[in-house]
Structure 1
Amino acid sequence: MKRQADGGLLWGVIVETEAYSQDEPACHGYRRRSPQNETLFGEPGRFYVYVSYGIHHCVNVVTDRPEWANGVLLRAVALPDEPERVAAGPGLLARRFGIDRGCDGLSVCGDGDLWITPRPVELSKPVLLTTTRIGINQGEDLALRWYLKASRSVSKRARGDRSPKPDAAFQPR
């Protein structure tokens, strides 16, 4: 969720994620700690925001433990009453929610204007697909990507998984 300047809330359901760990080469903390990735080595439960290809902001949630770079990249969000692919991809997600490096290090628990809440009750038992990560050159064979099968807002479906029909697709309410 994000509190807008006018006091309204922008919200959606996270429908796609990827995990990264310091012990594998696709993680930003694999080679070394730096001022740019410092948050990834910090306390779990913080947003780690970085710039990809010099133009797109991407947001992760720091996980596991301090001093060990672990994070979950938020790849896609389904938003109610908006085009289904408006936040289908890490860069589009960050753009739609106004997430930039200024959000780096914020708590995901709602101490600021950006936070994550538990999923709605109607999604208590979602069907998740597990597949390999996408858009990377190293560690792409690891099955560390998950997405909500019923969502048409996923950035890229696994091979052989067809997008659900619009009338049967998940739409947050």
Structure 2
Amino acid sequence: MKPIPFDFYARPAEVVGPDLIGCRLVKRQADGSLFWGVIVETEAYSQDEPACHGYRRRSPQNETLFGPPGRFYVYVSYGIHHCVNVVTDRDNWANGVLLRAVALPDEPERAAAGPGLLARRFGLDRHHDTLALTGENDVWLAAWPASLARPTLVTTTRIGISKGEDLPLRWYLQNSRSVSRRAKGDRMPARIDAWSPSAQEGR
């Protein structure tokens, strides 16, 4: 459960996004135990495309997205649910990866299959905005287990947006049943593979 170092995040979102698949979102609870899940779906956003929050202007609401990388950017979507993003690339350039879905050990496979469900299950909200992810706090991202081969990903378009929807900037773990929405024609897998949280426990 060692935190991913800063240099990992200091790259463009479209590079970090697929590399986050298979990594773990980890939260240290009040009793000292670790609550975690495998990241199975991400989306990338960059200042040079219209779906990004920083596309038009910099504001107090989106300031975190402009860097430095390696921090959470958490916003409220439609005034209803929180969305958790990882800030990437460099200072003064809005760039980040939305964590869309996480697979949790010993819980229903769709308990965190969507940004709002993910944030709610991990108890993440605007109070976690700007929080560093590199080990200084009680929430961080950990690398995929070295004992496992890299997972097979599906690259497809983003969802839930009205601009830039044709860009292939969403990735998900093909064999996961915890993805929020599969690409057209991609069937739900019937089996549990090595990247399921249960298979990773104890590694």
- TM-score of the alignment, normalized to the shorter chain, above 0.5: yes
TM-score scaled by structure 2? 0.82
The structure-2 alpha-carbon separation of the partners of 1:144 and 1:7, relative to structure 1 and needing over 3 Å to count, comes to same
Structure 1 residue 121 displacement after superposition? 3.1
Give 1:37's match in structure 2, choosing from 42, 62, 66: 62
3-state DSSP class of the match of 2:118?
A: helix
- Superposition CA RMSD, Å: 1.2
Structure 1 residue 166 displacement after superposition? 4.0
Structure 1 residue 157 displacement after superposition? 0.3
Give 1:25's match in structure 2, choosing from 28, 35, 50: 50
Q: Deviations over 1:138-166 (max 9, x none)?
A: 00000000000010000000000001104
Task: Note if contact 2:40-2:179 (Cα within 8 Å) is conserved in structure 1.
Answer: yes
Alignment pair present for 1:139 and 2:134: no
Alignment pair present for 1:8 and 2:40: no
Q: Aligned partners of 1:16 and 1:123: how far apart in 2?
A: 18
Q: Aligned partners of 1:168 and 1:10: how far apart in 2?
A: 21
Structure 1 residue 55 displacement after superposition? 1.2
> Per residue, is there more helix in 1 or in 2?
2
Alignment pair present for 1:129 and 2:154: yes
Structure 1 residue 89 displacement after superposition? 0.4
Task: Note if contact 2:38-2:196 (Cα within 8 Å) is conserved in structure 1.
Answer: no
Report what 1:160 is aligned to: 185
Alignment pair present for 1:61 and 2:86: yes
Q: Which moved further from structure 2: 120-129 or 97-106? A: 120-129
TM-score scaled by structure 1? 0.96
- Size of the aligned set, in residue pairs, is 173
Task: Note if contact 2:42-2:98 (Cα within 8 Å) is conserved in structure 1.
Answer: yes
Q: Aligned partners of 1:159 and 1:169: how far apart in 2?
A: 24
Report what 2:127 is aligned to: 102
Q: Which runs of 5+ in 1 are unaligned?
A: none
Structure 1 residue 19 displacement after superposition? 0.1
Q: Which runs of 5+ in 2 are unaligned?
A: 1-25
Structure 1 residue 168 displacement after superposition? 5.1
Give 2:108's match in structure 1, choosing from 72, 75, 83: 83
Task: Note if contact 2:175-2:192 (Cα within 8 Å) is conserved in structure 1.
Answer: no
2:41 aligned partner, one-letter code: E
Report what 1:70 is aligned to: 95
Structure 1 residue 114 displacement after superposition? 0.5
2:116 aligned partner, one-letter code: G
